[in-house]
Structure 1
Amino acid sequence: MLKKEAPYKFSLWMLAWPIFIEQFLQFLLGAVDTLMVSHLSDDAVAVVGFSNQLFNALTTLFVTVASGAGILIAQKIGSAKEEEARTVGIIGLKVTALIGLILSVVLVAFPGPIAQILQLPDELLSLGETYISIVGGGMILTALIAVLSTEIRSTGNTKAPMLIAVGMNLIHIGLNYCFIFGKLGFPQVGLAGVGVSTVTSRTLACIVLFIIFLNAFCRKINFKDLRLFDRKLFKEIMDIGWPLGVNSASWFFSQLVIFSFLAMLGAKELAARTYMNTLESFCFLLGFSVALALQIQVAHLFGGGRTKEAYKASYKALAIGLPLVTLNALILVFCGRSLLGLFTDDPVILNIAESLLWLNMLLQPGKMLNMALGNSLNAVGDARYTMTVSLIVMWIVAVCGSYLLGVSAAWGITAIYSCMIADEYTRGVFSFVRWRARKRLRIKEQELEREAKQQSWTGGGGGGKPAGAVFSAE
């Protein structure tokens, strides 16, 4: 029975398409959010875009645990250690929830000072304080959604998070409509209503995800099992997770700093970048879905000792992802002006955003290279390498370059965007060279050879493939 089910769960396509639907709905949520908020004002859009960069940066504090737990779960399932995978899931949930709770308290208590420290323009401070306190107060919900979705996907079930994303998006869009426009008897409360809508939809999503999580592993999780804690497994989670967390934090905080540079240029540049973020998301949705599915697949294959298939899987994913993101970016070049017109009619903002569309054609293939090969390196436990490269390249090329060329030299948003492109390709080349070297894969192969020799000496043998070998990589 296992041999029939597992290829379905762990093939790249069957992992990727539900992830794409989920990510597309998240993109749709962001686009509709931006579209609806744009009916309030361009200032409100700038606040949402700025605040979301802050929230994304802070999520890295719990993504450290969630990502490490997700990769380790896939590895444990690949090596047929189902009970350990179950325990890893419980540990990841508890630690992530604690981090999310701490962040919620901080954001509710200090929204104004946080906005000021991050250089939000004075005219946006009042709106920013309101939005940060409401949505930031729900960071524990964001943490729970992140860890539960990641762990459920890592078991091979990518459909459940997708279906929950459908429901969450529908509820959020419906409540946005009611709060922004005062429909169906709801008060018309503007940007504060968007925050309430966000928290409400995420609360409902958390409840359903938690119910699915309880049944996601080989043995149902009972509430008394939530007390489980294994120091050895937690150390394994953190060995994988902390470099991932630093890597993610490096990217998100660098983006936050870059957004503060844009805020120095002016509110219109900040709004233009927010609108471009929305359009750019469309370009790499399929590519990102393939890369995320690839991470699960490579971790699973690696855990099962199928190193050659894991190595080849990355190039197959690149062969799919690169054409997809390039085609999507090309479509955006020709349709971008019309799409931007849905969000704003300010000619200055439109001209700024439109000027970035061709640069986006260069940006997206670099992002795909990073996503595929970086995720592959992380999946086999080489996350410290990607972390080191990110810390050095990202802050020198993207951040320092953006300030020197975009702000200090006064070349503006085009220079900042160009530095972001240079950063993506530089890190992509480093990841490509590292993956070609097969360092972690060779170490795994040597370990398997030693285990095989020990079994032959002790008469254990078995002569079969590793436990994970029943799963398909196609």
Structure 2
Amino acid sequence: MEVLDGGPKIPRGSMGVWTLAWPSIITNLFYATSSIAAIKVVGDLGPDAIAAAVTGQRVTFILQAVLTGVLAGSTALIARNWGANKKLEAGIFFSRTVQLVTFLALISAVLIWKFAEPLVIFFGLKDEALTLSTQYLKSIAPFYIGYGCGLGLITALRAIGDVKTPLIIGVIMNLFAIFFMLVLVNGWLGFPKYGVVGAAFGNGVSFVIGAALLIVFWLSNQLQVRYSSIFNFDIKRVKEIFEVGLPAALEQVIFQIGITAFLILVAFYGTEAYAAYGIGVQILSFSIVIGFGFSIAGATLVGQHLGAKNEEQAKRAGWGAMRLSIISMTFFGVLITIFAEPLARYMIDNDEVVRLTVIFIWLLGSMQPLMAIEFSLGGALRGAGDTKTPLAITLTCLLFIRVFLAMIFFLLDARVEVIFSTLVADYVVKGFLYVARFRSDRWMNVLKTREAD
């Protein structure tokens, strides 16, 4: 442990990374289970219902990605102030984070509800899939306010090194989500049989429960960081959060645009291909969320060590996060790939969807070591305040490599399996670029330069 002038103890080395990573990994595994459940509970309703659930989750991921991008600024600033033992300043940034992200979630909820159908049409869905997806989005949109508030609180807590409170809240949320989805989709316990809409309501109720619990803990001073009024508008600190977080937010916007463009191309091959992509991603999410855990740990430790003026430990935290992430994601990626067919058939009894899902899992599963590099070193860079590098890498690799190649193959009338395979080139180049940037050590001076300006 490292302590600066009586300040907080900062975990060190690979064990320090693991200490912060494992609660986030467990939390994210529960989220992945909930996402799988959202697809499984509507699986008997057919590919159109699955397409609706996949689309609803995709929009939720887009919202999460944009908010998380903005929150990258909060993570860097809160972690650095906490590591420097400036707890009052960290607490103020904590409050401004909740204030900002809740407002952004409110605006997003209104826009998604109002433009649900055009949004689904943009995804390339038609007929029954279009109708069900629109109903799903309109049903879940109002709950995004609670989702945003909860996400802001959880991210801020992780930035100060409190990963156990988000774990407890995450477990509670996802147990409620699975329970309410089963009840409302199937019409149990006297409730109407809502079908696809029930999955939206089940997830939405869990968002509100999670946010409410966190707010109660915060207001009653049960958290490590003390409550600072969210009703004071502090333009200076909000501006700082935006300045650091804006490139990360743009990165996430570009990522979602790229993935959406990729999905639109896949949708041209039919509902089966679209559903296969969604199922494949959800199955592999059990490996992917492990990478998110190491990303969170790397960002927190790098930010705190830089705040404590210990650059060597910041570098060790980044490399340690990468090594542990590669080992863990590779293991689970191999395991999932081996059992790809039975897992796919468990999700849906449709031979073509299962066949395409298995191929997609083989491709993305083989990329788990490179995805591990992206998650871990990307998180470390953002924790240092270097949010422009991940933006540039995402723009280059996702749009100019994966989507560009996919469009060329699509125009050449290639099979959808070839479209899926373009993700390999994307991750190979990403892995190389992230390692090169982290080795340069220039990322350590990004916030120093900003402060000097």
TM-score bin (small chain): over 0.9
Equivalent of 2:433 in 414, 430, 433: 430
Equivalent of 1:236 in 229, 235, 240: 240
Q: State how many pairs are aligned.
A: 446
Sort the Cα spacing of 1:97 and 1:402 in 2 relative to 1 into closer, same or farther, 3 A.
Answer: same
Sort the Cα spacing of 1:227 and 1:403 in 2 relative to 1 into closer, same or farther, 3 A.
Answer: same
Task: State which drifts further: 335-344 or 415-424.
Answer: 415-424
Paired with 2:186 and 2:63, the residues of 1 have a C-alpha distance of 31
2:414: which partner in 1?
Answer: 411
2:230: which partner in 1?
Answer: 226
Q: Are the aligned partners of 1:247 and 1:387 in contact in 2 as well (CA < 8 Å)?
A: yes
Matched, 1:160 2:142: no
1:64: which partner in 2?
Answer: 69
1:454: which partner in 2?
Answer: none
Q: Are the aligned partners of 1:155 and 1:216 in contact in 2 as well (CA < 8 Å)?
A: no
Q: Are the aligned partners of 2:65 and 2:253 in contact in 1 as well (CA < 8 Å)?
A: yes
1:6-405 residue pairs with structure 2 within 5 A?
A: 6-7=9-10, 11-214=16-219, 215=221, 220-221=226-227, 225-405=229-409
Sort the Cα spacing of 1:259 and 1:173 in 2 relative to 1 into closer, same or farther, 3 A.
Answer: same
1:441: which partner in 2?
Answer: 444
Q: Are the aligned partners of 2:124 and 2:267 in contact in 1 as well (CA < 8 Å)?
A: yes
Q: What is the identity, as a one-letter code, of the residue corresponding to 1:277?
A: V
Shift of 1:7: 4.4
Shift of 1:395: 0.7
TM-score (norm 2): 0.92
Paired with 2:212 and 2:178, the residues of 1 have a C-alpha distance of 19
Identity of aligned residues (%): 22
Shift of 1:417: 2.3
Q: Are the aligned partners of 2:7 and 2:85 in contact in 1 as well (CA < 8 Å)?
A: no
Shift of 1:219: 6.1
Secondary structure in structure 2 of the residue aligned to 1:265 = coil
Shift of 1:301: 0.6
Secondary structure in structure 1 of the residue aligned to 2:347 = coil
Sort the Cα spacing of 1:418 and 1:23 in 2 relative to 1 into closer, same or farther, 3 A.
Answer: same
Paired with 2:371 and 2:327, the residues of 1 have a C-alpha distance of 12
Q: Are the aligned partners of 1:58 and 1:249 in contact in 2 as well (CA < 8 Å)?
A: no
Task: State which drifts further: 225-234 or 288-297.
Answer: 225-234
Unaligned runs of 5+ in 1: 451-474
Q: What is the identity, as a one-letter code, of the residue corresponding to 1:349?
A: V
Paired with 1:124 and 1:440, the residues of 2 have a C-alpha distance of 45
1:463: which partner in 2?
Answer: none
Q: Are the aligned partners of 1:48 and 1:131 in contact in 2 as well (CA < 8 Å)?
A: yes
Q: Are the aligned partners of 1:12 and 1:290 in contact in 2 as well (CA < 8 Å)?
A: yes
Secondary structure in structure 2 of the residue aligned to 1:284 = helix
1:455: which partner in 2?
Answer: none
Paired with 1:217 and 1:85, the residues of 2 have a C-alpha distance of 13
Shift of 1:445: 8.9
1:462: which partner in 2?
Answer: none
RMSD of the TM alignment (CA)?
2.4
Paired with 1:240 and 1:135, the residues of 2 have a C-alpha distance of 30
Paired with 1:106 and 1:446, the residues of 2 have a C-alpha distance of 37
Sort the Cα spacing of 1:446 and 1:339 in 2 relative to 1 into closer, same or farther, 3 A.
Answer: closer
Shift of 1:5: 6.8
